[in-house]
């Protein structure tokens, strides 16, 4: 590495430094009794002379003068002069240093200069030591010592061996390469020299020349003699280092240090990187803390530094030491070489991956810790081999950067305002950085440069690769990791994924949740920060999304753009815009591994809209406008989906696209999947296990929404998604894929799903009714259309038109009724007489559709599910209700289902249009006999049974077609048992039934007792309309005994014995019973006889009360009478008798008339008589 050098002495590209050369006695460096293998005293300058003669390049004054008048030491032999024997230091030596060290000048020097900070030396001793060290460093004989002790090193290191001798270059070169010195004696020699030189900046050759101006400008000036210990002037270097840090952080009124001095400062820091004793300021500041935290940590190779760094934020760490450590860390951030262990561990990897030869970067940039980390992390993420030792060092320094924001000058510079406003007092353990992350995530209004600085720092530290780098996250989530993620290896990138999977679960704790989302907010904005995703998708991203390398960024690519590109290709093909499900697509889609990772990320990030950069950016305004109060997990996206029509264009597009993806892969909705876990495990595990979900899982959840395993959260979530699907048919993946072509061809420009379903289903129904051979809607679309229709029938909210029409009616009549299970729809049906006209019309249309297709009647299908399996498993779905009606009175019929069938029968009888079978059977009869009623009818409004009543009367008159007659007979039989099935009777007798037949109504036997009660109390009925309906019942009962259940029950045995051969209908069996009643030879059952006599009396009364209104009515009554044969016979006899009487009377009257005529003609007294007689005469001739 380039160092710094003297302008006069250093060759180009070489840093000149002349380190002090220490005097090595016979026990060099081994102050504690260990002997050196070499004797350097013979080679070193005379110690006494050095002490006596301070002359040299730094100082010319004599020692006595420098020492303030102290007498110079007497001349001694070079091998015997001892510092301990000098009068100036004897007292201090006896007070501070152990006796066994007195014989070694170097040990004495080390002891005195490393004394406690509060302990002062005598002024004479201070200056004696100073001159001793100064003269040592300027004596060229030390170079000869270096040559002798470093022979092997110089043999191997040709660069140092070739240095010019006599100028100090050799020793400077050896210090430059000391981390590579393996020769023990040489290493110890060079190391010990460094302990002396770093005790005073003025002893470093060239440092004073380069930094004097900066020292004066920053007021770091050296301490005057006598004011302070002159060998502890590491304070000066520390002051310069702080000035350099201030410049980097662009603090207010900072001073710009000269480049030469900057290099000198960084070089001093680098040379002191292996042993913390060499950083004199830090050594004195942290001496007690070292004893407290790192007592067992040996010095050398930067181990004490690292130990102190790890304890930097301990509460018991002194403030002065913490500040000194921070300064040291900031220097490391500016030049990684200031960290001995990092530079040594990563030296080969840096060279291997050319991390320090990037000529495209600004000068000095390649030395920054951030660049080193990015370069080596890029190699790791590309699958290259980086030594484990280097990766360990990188991990330590990445953690260091995450713990202390102040180590990143860009953060300090650009985020100063945010820190002061929101994050003051949170300096420790990465809390400030997490505070800034939270501000960026929650406020969304952070300064752009600050946001960019944070994003860069997250990339440099790469906590996604190892959560332990983020100390705040690590501490907050430790308990969660131990419980939920204990199966994952410590430090594995999947730990973060595991934590995301347990977000908002019972295992997650609040502090961990907060820290995790703060970090994920930034990871989500750079796809490279998820190491698993990057590893699996880097080739796909480069091929499809045109990405750069791991440590390269593009300012033109917005946050999250690469991941958006990936998930678009994970779920779509280039041509069809959909899932690339075929391997033949080749380069059009993503690899299988990449798809899996993209799906994993989507599933995790759907938990929070802020983890989707594109969504948050485009919907920021809409989130504030519509969803400011939605703070619970998942509520923001649901809110945006609910207000889809109200959103801005950009926001609507991105929300629509995300919803479309959810319809294809509902597992993106992680919260919903968690809530629905019991249902999935019980009913949908087969589709849930599929790697590719094409809407099957949501369809399964909808079908099983009412299973006992379904909890409220799951039901609400599934229903919400169904409601969202109504907004756009694209949101129903299976429906869209099945019917896309049909929609484009048959229902263009229709977007809402409900409108598309109505459009397509109308075409299907019309084609079916018209028996079109080739239907317009494709088969696959018809199948899926059926599924959608069935799903929509479950909740009124899934039919927006009906829901909007009945919204107020729901509040008025069904406020406490829960949605789902079609309960609200059923409630509205029960209250349809009280709902608004608009709602009533929509309900009528719905009921008409349900009666034509009973499968769409959700309540009927749900309540009668088991009965359908029992009785109608082979029945046509269109005839399901008809089948249930036929089995309604079976002993095996479930009571609840029977009740539901009765409700549907009541509905059908209110209007013939709600009974498809009747409507078809009586297609010709209805306009023929009931046109007057149809003329008064309104569309979408019930006729209250008027048409059915009309047909009943015609049935009594036996004027209906056979098919229609069969259907009316069924209706008559059913309504005879249950008065509620006769809408007109119920309407007209609403007051009379409670008054006259309360007990029968309360019994709820549905055996015709209410009708029988009304018949018996016919004379007591006051309401004319009710009386008329009862009379109609009596009239209808003449036509068929089955219409009179009470009479039929009473006479069942007699019918079997007397009328077994007579087919039912058209009053035949009733006539048989009446004839049997008249035949004295036949003995009927007493109850039957009594009931028949009662019916005769009732019919007689009915004839009196309601005489025939015309000849046709009279003829109808006669024909419908059980005694019609008798009546017709009597009428025939009367006619014959009248005819005979006519003939007889005709002859008599003719004779009488003739006689009278003759009399009149033969009388002579009359003119006529005279004329008559005259005409008889032969000779008569009239007068002219």
The per-residue DSSP string of 929-967 comes to: H-HHHHHH--TTS--TTHHHHHHHHHHHTT-S-HHHHHH
Is 958 within 8 Å of 1119 (Cβ atoms)? yes
Q: How high is the pLDDT of residue 458?
A: 92
User: Cβ contacts of residue 39 below 8 Å, gap of 6+?
Assistant: 26
pLDDT value of residue 467:
92
The whole-number pLDDT of residue 226 equals: 37
Structure tokens at 812: 């008025």
Distance CA 943, CA 933 (A): 8
Q: Give long-range contacts, CB 8 A cutoff, 24+ apart: 226-230.
A: 226/68, 226/123, 229/120, 229/121, 229/126, 230/126, 230/127, 230/130, 230/200
Q: Which 8-state DSSP code applies to residue 473?
A: H
pLDDT recorded at residue 1158: 60
pLDDT of residue 223: 38
Task: Collect all residues with Cβ–Cβ distance below 8 Å to 119 and sequence separation of at least 6.
Answer: 96
Q: With a cut of 70, which residues of the chain have pLDDT below it?
A: 1-80, 114-119, 130, 133-142, 166-169, 171-172, 175-176, 179, 194-206, 221-233, 356-366, 426-428, 550-557, 572-588, 691-692, 939-941, 1105-1127, 1146-1184
**Cα–Cα–Cα angle for 405, 410, 411, nearest 5°?**
35
Nearest to 719 by CA among 827, 821, 816: 821
Q: Measured between alpha carbons, how far is 308 from 292 in angstroms, rounded to an integer?
A: 10
**Residue 38 dihedral angles phi and psi, to the nearest 5°:** -120, 160
pLDDT of 1113 reads 52
DSSP H helical ranges for 11-117: 47-52, 63-66, 87-96, 105-113
Instruction: Find the helix packing angle between 712-725 and 696-703, rounded to 10°.
Output: 120
Distance CA 667, CA 604 (A): 10
- Confirm if 375 and 418 have CB atoms less than 8 A apart: no
User: Are the C-beta atoms of residues 394 and 415 closer than 8 Å to each other?
Assistant: no
Residues in the chain, overall count: 1184
CB 934 within 8 A of CB 926: yes
Nearest to 341 by CA among 357, 328, 354, 323: 328
d(CA 155, CA 115): 39
Read off the pLDDT of residues 1034-1084 as tens digits, 9 standing for 90 and up.
Answer: 888 877 787 888 888 889 898 888 888 888 777 788 888 888 888 888 888
CB neighbour class for 323 (10 Å; exposed up to 12, middle 13-18, buried from 19):
middle
Q: What is the pLDDT of residue 41?
A: 38
Closest residue by Cα to residue 527 from 482, 560, 498: 560
Could you tell me if 736 and 659 are in contact, meaning their C-beta atoms sit under 8 angstroms apart?
A: no
Q: Which of 710, 726, 634, 649 is nearest to 676 (CA)?
A: 710
Relative orientation angle of helices 1024-1039 and 1111-1120, to the nearest 10 degrees: 50
For residue 384, what are the contacts with CB-CB under 8 A and spacing of at least 6? 353
Asked if residue 793 lies in contact with residue 761, where contact means CB atoms within 8 angstroms, the answer is no
For residue 1121, what pLDDT is reported? Answer: 57
The alpha carbon of residue 1111 and the mean position of all alpha carbons in its chain are separated, in whole angstroms, by 78
Q: C-alpha distances in angstroms, 794 versus 208, 277, 818, 855, 1070?
A: 88, 79, 12, 11, 48
Which pLDDT score is estimated for 42?
Answer: 36
Secondary structure string (H, E, C) spanning 821-886: CCHHHHHHHHCCCCCCHHHHHHHHHHHHHHHHCHHHCHHHHHHCHHHHHHHCCCCCHHHHHHHHHH
Q: Is 207 exposed, middle or buried (0-12, 13-18, 19+ CB in 10 A)?
A: buried
Instruction: Classify the C-alpha dihedral 558-563-568-569 as positive or negative.
Output: positive
* Residue 828, pLDDT score: 94
Residue 202: per-residue pLDDT: 59
Closest CA to 493 of 454, 455, 539, 528: 528
Q: Are 986 and 980 in contact (CB under 8 A)?
A: yes
Q: How many whole angstroms from its chain centre is CA 943? A: 50
The per-residue pLDDT for 463 is 93
């Amino acid at each position: 590495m380039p160092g710094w050098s003297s302008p006069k002495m250093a060759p180009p590209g070489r840093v000149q430094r002349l380190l002090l050369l220490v005097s090595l006695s016979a026990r060099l460096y081994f102050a504690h009794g260990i002997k050196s293998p070499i004797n350097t005293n013979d080679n070193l300058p005379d110690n006494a002379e050095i002490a006596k003669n301070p002359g040299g390049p730094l100082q010319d004054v004599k020692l006595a003068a420098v020492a303030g008048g102290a007498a110079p030491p007497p001349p001694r032999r070079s091998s015997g002069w001892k510092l301990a024997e000098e009068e100036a230091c004897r007292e201090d030596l006896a007070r501070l240093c152990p006796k066994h060290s007195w014989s070694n000048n170097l040990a004495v020097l080390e002891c005195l200069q490393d004394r406690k900070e509060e302990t002062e030396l005598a002024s004479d001793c201070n200056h004696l030591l100073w001159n001793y060290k100064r003269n040592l460093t300027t004596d060229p004989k030390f170079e000869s010592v270096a040559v002798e002790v470093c022979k092997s090193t110089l043999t191997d290191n040709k660069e140092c061996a070739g240095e010019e001798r006599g100028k100090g270059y050799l020793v400077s070169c050896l210090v430059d390469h000391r981390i590579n010195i393996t020769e023990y004696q040489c290493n110890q020699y060079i190391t010990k020299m460094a302990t002396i030189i770093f005790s005073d900046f003025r002893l470093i050759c060239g440092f004073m020349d380069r930094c004097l101006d900066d020292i004066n400008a920053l007021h770091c000036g050296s301490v005057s003699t006598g004011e302070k210990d002159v060998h502890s002037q590491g304070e000066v270097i520390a002051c310069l280092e702080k000035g350099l840090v201030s410049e980097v952080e662009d603090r207010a009124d900072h001073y710009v240090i000269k480049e030469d001095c900057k290099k000198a400062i960084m070089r001093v820091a680098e040379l002191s990187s292996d042993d913390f004793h060499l950083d004199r300021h830090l050594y004195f500041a942290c001496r007690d803390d070292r004893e407290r935290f790192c007592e067992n940590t040996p010095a050398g190779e930067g181990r004490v530094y690292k130990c102190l760094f790890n304890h930097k934020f301990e509460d018991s760490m002194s403030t002065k030491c913490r500040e000194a450590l921070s300064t040291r860390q900031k220097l490391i951030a500016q030049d990684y070489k200031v960290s001995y262990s990092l530079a040594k561990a990563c030296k080969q990897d840096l060279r291997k991956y050319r991390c320090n030869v990037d000529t495209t970067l600004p000068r000095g940039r390649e030395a920054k810790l951030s660049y080193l980390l990015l370069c080596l992390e890029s190699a790791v993420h590309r699958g290259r081999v980086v030594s484990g030792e280097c990766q360990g060092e990188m991990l330590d320094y990445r953690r260091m950067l995450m713990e202390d924001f102040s180590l990143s000058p860009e953060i300090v510079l650009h985020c100063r305002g945010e820190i002061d406003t929101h994050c003051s007092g949170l300096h420790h353990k990465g809390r400030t950085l997490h505070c800034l992350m939270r501000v960026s995530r929650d406020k969304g209004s952070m300064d752009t440069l600050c946001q960019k600085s944070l994003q860069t720092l997250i990339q440099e530290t790469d906590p996604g690769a190892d959560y332990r780098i983020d100390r705040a996250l690590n501490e907050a989530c430790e308990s969660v990791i131990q419980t939920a993620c204990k199966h994952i290896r410590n430090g594995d990138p999947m730990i973060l994924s595991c934590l995301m999977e347990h977000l908002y679960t019972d295992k997650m704790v609040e502090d961990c949740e907060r820290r995790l989302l703060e970090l994920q907010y930034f990871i989500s904005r750079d796809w490279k920060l998820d190491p698993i995703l990057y590893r699996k998708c880097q080739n796909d991203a480069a091929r499809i999304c045109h990405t750069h390398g791991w440590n390269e960024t593009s300012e033109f690519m917005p946050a999250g753009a690469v991941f958006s590109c990936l998930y678009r290709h994970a779920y779509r093909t280039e041509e069809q815009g959909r899932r690339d499900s075929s391997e033949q697509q080749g380069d059009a889609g993503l690899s299988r591994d990449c798809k899996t990772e993209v799906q994993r990320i989507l599933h995790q990030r759907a938990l929070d809209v802020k983890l989707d950069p594109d969504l948050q950016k485009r919907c920021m305004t809409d989130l504030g406008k519509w969803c400011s109060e939605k703070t619970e997990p998942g509520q923001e996206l649901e809110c945006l989906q609910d207000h889809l029509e109200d959103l801005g264009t950009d926001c609507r597009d991105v929300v629509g696209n995300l919803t479309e993806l959810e319809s294809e892969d509902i597992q993106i909705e992680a919260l919903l999947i968690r809530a629905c876990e019991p249902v999935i495990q019980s009913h949908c595990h087969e589709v849930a296990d599929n790697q590719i979900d094409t809407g099957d899982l949501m369809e399964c959840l909808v079908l099983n929404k009412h299973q006992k395993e379904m909890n409220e959260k799951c039901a609400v979530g599934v229903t919400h998604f169904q409601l969202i699907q109504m907004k756009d048919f694209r949101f129903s993946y299976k429906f869209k894929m099945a019917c896309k072509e049909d929609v484009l061809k048959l229902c263009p420009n229709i977007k809402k799903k409900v409108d598309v379903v109505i459009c397509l289903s109308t075409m299907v129904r019309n084609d079916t009714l018209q028996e079109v051979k080739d239907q317009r809607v494709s088969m696959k679309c018809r199948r899926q259309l059926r599924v959608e229709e069935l799903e929509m029938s479950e909740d009124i909210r899934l039919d927006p038109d009906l829901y909007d029409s009945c919204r107020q009616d729901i509040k008025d009549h069904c406020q406490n009724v829960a949605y789902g299970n079609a309960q609200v729809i059923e409630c509205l049906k029960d209250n349809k007489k009280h709902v608004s006209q608009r709602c009533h019309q929509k309900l009528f249309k719905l009921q008409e559709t349900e009666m034509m297709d009973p499968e769409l009647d959700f309540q009927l299908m749900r309540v009668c599910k088991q009965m359908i399996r029992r009785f109608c498993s082979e029945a046509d779905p269109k005839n399901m209700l008809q089948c249930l009606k036929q089995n309604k009175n079976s002993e095996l019929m479930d009571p609840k289902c029977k009740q539901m069938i009765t409700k549907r029968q009541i509905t059908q009888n209110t209007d013939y249009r709600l009974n498809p079978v009747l409507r078809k059977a009586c297609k010709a009869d209805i306009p023929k006999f009931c046109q007057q009623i149809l003329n008064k009818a309104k569309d979408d409004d019930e006729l209250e049974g008027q048409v059915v009543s009309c047909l009943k009367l015609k049935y009594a008159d036996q004027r209906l077609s056979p098919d229609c007659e069969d259907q009316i007979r069924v209706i008559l039989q059913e309504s005879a048992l249950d008065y509620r099935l006769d809408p007109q009777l119920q309407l007209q007798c609403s007051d009379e039934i409670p008054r006259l037949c309360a007990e029968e109504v309360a019994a709820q036997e549905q055996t015709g007792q209410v009708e029988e009660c009304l018949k018996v109390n016919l004379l007591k009925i006051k309401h004319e309309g009710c009386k008329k309906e009862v009379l109609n019942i009596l009239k209808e009962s003449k036509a068929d005994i089955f219409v009179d259940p009470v009479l039929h029950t009473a006479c069942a045995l007699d019918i079997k014995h007397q009328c077994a051969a007579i087919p039912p209908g058209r009053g035949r069996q009733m006539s048989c019973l009446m004839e049997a009643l008249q035949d004295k030879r036949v003995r009927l059952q007493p109850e039957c006889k009594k009931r028949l006599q009662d019916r005769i009396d009732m019919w007689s009364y009915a004839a009196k009360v309601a005489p025939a209104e015309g000849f046709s009515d009279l003829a109808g009554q006669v024909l419908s009478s059980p005694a019609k044969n008798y009546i017709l016979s009597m009428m025939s006899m009367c006619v014959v008798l009248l005819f005979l009487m006519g003939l007889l009377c005709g002859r008599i009257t003719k004779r009488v008339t003739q006689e009278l005529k003759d009399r009149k003609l033969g009388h002579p007294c009359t003119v006529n008589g005279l004329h008559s007689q005259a005409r008889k005469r032969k000779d008569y001739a009239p007068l002219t």
